[in-house]
Amino acid sequence: MKVLVVDDNPINQKFLYYSLKKYYEIETADNGLEAVRMLESQYFDVVLMDLTMPVMDGAEATKVIRNSVSFRNKDIPIIFVTTNDYEHERVRCIENGGDDYLIKPVDVSELLSAIDYQVGLKLQMH
């Protein structure tokens, strides 16, 4: 399985990379626009999306992905992994098409469970 980690903070990228690399193939993007471009040209099974990033934030990137003409990316599981614990931001992310919303610091076993659950849901839909 291939996971795209989208986070502008190199420390957060490294934490997720090293926490998940024994389970998945990991690639990283530094902002939402970079993630959108990567999803246009590559296949991923799931996206771990930060919310607050320069260029394009995670909620806006999710909206662009959900409105994509590319079928395989339109339904990709998108799990927000963010420090932003405001309810209105959580609602915005879910309304824009996010599948789950986890608060950093995230527990790795909780993250693995969320990934398995969301990927399983998408597989059942197809």
- Nearest CA among 1, 9, 4 for reference residue 105: 9
Q: How many domains does the chain have?
A: 1
User: The domain containing residue 40 runs over which residues?
Assistant: 2-125
pLDDT tens-digit profile of 96-113?
999 999 999 999 999 999
The yes-or-no verdict on residue 126 having pLDDT over 70 is no
| Residue 66, domain CATH | 3.40.50.2300
The answer to whether residues 7 and 28 touch, using CB atoms and an 8 Å cutoff, is yes
pLDDT tens-digit profile of 10-21?
999 999 999 999
Q: What is the dihedral of CA 30, 33, 36, 38, to 10 degrees?
A: -50
